[in-house]
Chains A and B, each alone.
Chain A
Amino acid sequence: MNFLSYNAQWVLLSTLLLGMAAGVVGVLSYWKRQSLMSDTLSHAALPGVVLGFIAVGTKQLPAMLIGAAISALIGAWLVLWIRSSSRVKEDAAMGIVLSVFFGLGIMLLTYANRMPGGGQSGLDNFIFGQAASMVRSDVMLLTILAISVIFLVYLFFKEWKLALFDPSYAQGLGLSVKSMNILYTSLLVLVIVIGIQAVGVILIAALMIIPAVSARYWTDSFGRMLVLSAIFGGGAGVCGTLLSTLGKGWPTGPFIVVAAAAMFVISLLLGTSKGLLVILYQRKRAQLKRQNTILAEQAVEGGRG
């Protein structure tokens, strides 16, 4: 199997870690009830990626990632500002930022593609993701970033739990919810930055939404949900990457998303905590119990009569 070359192994490792990082941050988003914020910010990252390229002139990943982070953060701040200081609601604010930033990104992309060397830069890969286009140094950088994301979630485990479950109580205990929010947004942006090359700006959100929701079907515990979501995310990353290597020029992102969606469907059906089969079984049992009590009551009443 020649696709498991030395480079391919590294690429696999980085999509595994990317999936895990997205999985754990996704759990935070799930409990913040902000699942679509990741979608908004990833679209908002596009102009930054291209500006990073334009500024440096060649395809240098670090510059593009810094650009992505800055423009995603501006997007996050704009959503917050629009929502808090006008009657426009959060969903519309997200839609505005998402589409306007993406439009700006496309404008810049058209411009960059005309620059010398721009056409071959593979900038278009940032839209749907092309894991195979990563070189060794990119992989190293992304791996380190992904590990630090996972580590930061682990390090503040009990703070997250408190801040997500009961923010006002957390505030009362002296935990700064504001700094937790800043940390959360930074982690969100970091995952987007790590993910855009492999999964692309359009679909990276899926990797932050689907594993977390799938994990919810297996457990009620926050800790176990984090672990499971990391496993699902990492699994989807690896499966999707392998699948996309089967054809020439196939984009990685969509395959990762479909792999994650398959895990969601399995969780939805078989999940031990809220899965459909479990609920069906419980409902049947409750119904039987109710019928039995009615029968018993009737028997008692009949006895009286």
Chain B
Amino acid sequence: MNDVSANTLSRHIDLDDTDQAIIQLLRKDGRMAYRAIARELDIAENTVRARVRRMEESNTMRVVAVTDTEAAGYGMLLAIGVQVEGRSPEVVAREMAAIPEVFSVNVVVGAQDIEILVVSKDQAALNELITDKLGAIPGVRRLTPALALDVLKNQPDWVPFHAA
């Protein structure tokens, strides 16, 4: 990743205070009306509209519905560390990312090569996911899972859009 091309740099966008304020309001209530946002920030409704559109079109911000995993039938959440051998962690990570139950994938440095977050409906489905799907991916040497007993907070504001 040493190739700092102009293209790479232009992908980065600077948000000003107004943009940040709009994002903060939309984080609290994604369906807040443009008019209400404008009133709250004391700016014109058209400004709000234009700012939101600019951030959406530049793929900087999205307003989305997040579904509760438990409501969707997934009772279990696990963080699994993955050690890889004989293959590039990036390649293995991309194969893992293709599995719907694997909702977060990060290539990391340290004792593990990849960190993933997965959900599962029950123990049988988890067995299938770990043994038959994840464990069977070429290059996977070892999976080290931890089960979440209680999730106290899960509000990831920072996500990559390209693969979601």
A and B form one complex: no
Q: Tell me the A residues contacting B by CB distance below 8 Å.
A: none
Q: Tell me the B residues contacting A by CB distance below 8 Å.
A: none
